[in-house]
Structure 1
């Protein structure tokens, strides 16, 4: 963590690219998912523990991606994640895929907490809400 921002390093592997060695567009969502999972783990939770303890899952509700530059095979990247919304049953993140100081992709993603039994929205568990509230960042860069 760097203040309210989680920094997740990664390297682009061959499997992440198309035939031209350029990262395939859908891989940026996978990079973002890995970063959010790593952030959750750093905060003391896992997706599995949340599901087992609270009988909920955190699912993607909406996302937008703004592709600015391409990442290439063997690039060393970071995914910078910050929590921008904390709702009753939802979380919002801004995630930036970076190569050094260059923004490659900016992702805005909103997640919903869902009951595993009823598959409908459910309030975020209190322990998750408490931890995430410490990292809410509503300031624009």
Structure 2
């Protein structure tokens, strides 16, 4: 769900339950699965903004791909934990989108991600983000560089 905080900043919140398939033999979330959780949350954020990835691919023949991702793993998530992925759009460039994502369990940050997405055509070449997508993101963008 997208909401405005008291500061006026927009944030998307997406709940994720940790399933057995997300964990290693010790019941701890396998590190790469945090990337999957963040991807799902970004996909749902775009859908809630009214511009889904599948629609952008179908109508514009464009898609987003992760160009850069920096992750800080802070605490371990475990089987059956209820997590929340909080996403903030930091900057929208001509063909890029920068987002900050925090995966939380209750009040604890579990992982923090800085993600840069590139808008690409079918040949994998950078293309400008479509105006309709840019307009949707502009309503959501905020200038703080911090995710709580």
In the aligned structure 1, how far is the partner of 2:51 from the partner of 2:93? 19
In the aligned structure 2, how far is the partner of 1:52 from the partner of 1:10? 28
The alpha carbon displacement at 1:136 in A equals: 1.0
How many residues matched? 140
TM-score (norm 1): 0.97
- Unaligned runs of at least 5 residues, structure 1: none
| Residues 119-139 of structure 1, C-alpha deviations (whole Å, 9 max, x = no match) | 200000000001101111121
Q: How does 1:1-141 map to 2 (within 5 A)?
A: 1-3=2-4, 4-116=10-122, 118-141=123-146
The alpha carbon displacement at 1:140 in A equals: 3.7
The alpha carbon displacement at 1:96 in A equals: 0.3
In the aligned structure 1, how far is the partner of 2:34 from the partner of 2:143? 23
Over the residues paired in the alignment, what is the CA RMSD in angstroms? 0.8
Which SS does the other structure have where 1:134 is aligned? helix
In the aligned structure 2, how far is the partner of 1:140 from the partner of 1:45? 24
| Residues 40-94 of structure 1, C-alpha deviations (whole Å, 9 max, x = no match) | 1111122111001001011000000000000000000000000011100000110
TM-score (norm 2): 0.92
In the aligned structure 2, how far is the partner of 1:140 from the partner of 1:55? 31
